[in-house]
Amino acid sequence: MYVDSHCHLEIEDFDSDRERVIEEGLGEGLTYMLTVGTEERYFRLATSITESHPGIYGALGVHPHNASEFDGAMKERLNSALSHPRIVALGEIGLDYFKNHSPKAAQVYAFEEQIHLAGRMGLPIIVHSRSAKEETLDVLGRSRDSLNAGGVIHCFSYDLDSARRFLDLGFFISIPGTITYPKNTSLAEVAAFVPSDRLLSETDAPFLAPNPYRGKRNLPHYVKITVARLAEIRKVNVETLTSQILENFVALFLKGRKGVL
């Protein structure tokens, strides 16, 4: 009953063995996967994957790396793509001031416009935030009226105080495989703190593989390693935690209805 709430099955890293990876994930006990298309060139394939696999849903959005490409025409195309019934979230969107592949002003504009679009469509958002903690909180704070469907801070990488502030805005916190890295004590502190009904797990596959696969291609079923470490940190058994995470996924992305979309 595991859930990978964030992976990228549509990107080129899986072109040679995508179906095998999916089947392996299902065979390893994954109930749901959420594949996240972050550029327009991935929208169609991400949607097609969800149509072929009942346990896979999709999210679409313009990543901050590509924010300079976001304009009115792009927004209209995104709006159309999001209308598919198996697309259950808008994302990942946000701010990345670490790599700055797009100008900061363009990132803020694309982030705000997509938040408002999600609000109008009643979709939760998936937020990417790197080296932009305060700026992300500022944008979300002034966009609260458009956060009617909630959202998740994907691949959480900030400290405990930040987690509290994102939780106060109504967000879920998603823990990636980096929780298994020995020196990641700050994330372990966050993982121990997040309320059980606001916690998600993810791989971000093919990126950020957990130990002992660090540095190799990440796979959706490696989320089991992350959940095992989370259970250890939170001092609960794995079965209880996986059940809670599944409930959280269904509540946020499937509107509380298992397998009916």
Q: What is the pLDDT of residues 28-73, one digit of tens each?
A: 999 999 999 999 999 999 999 999 999 999 999 999 999 999 999 9
Q: What is the pLDDT of residue 257?
A: 73
Q: What is the pLDDT of residues 127-179, one digit of tens each?
A: 999 999 999 999 999 999 999 999 999 999 999 999 999 999 999 999 999 99
- What the chain holds in terms of domains, given with CATH numbers, is 2-253 (3.20.20.140)
The residue whose two tokens read 């190799």 is 216
Q: What is the pLDDT of residue 51?
A: 97
pLDDT at 260 over 70: no
Q: Which region among 119-123, 229-233, 255-259 has the lowest average model confidence (pLDDT)?
A: 255-259
CB-neighbour burial class of residue 24 (10 A; exposed 0-12, middle 13-18, buried 19+): middle
Q: What is the pLDDT of residue 255?
A: 86
Could you tell me where the DSSP H helices lie in 33-176? 40-52, 72-81, 104-121, 133-142, 160-168
User: Checking phi first, is residue 96 left (phi over 0); if not, alpha (psi -120 to 50) or beta?
Assistant: beta
Q: What is the pLDDT of residues 233-256, one digit of tens each?
A: 999 999 999 999 999 999 999 987
What average pLDDT is seen over the chain?
Answer: 96
Q: What is the pLDDT of residue 258?
A: 64
Q: What is the pLDDT of residue 261?
A: 47
Residues 6+ apart with CB under 8 A from 85: 261
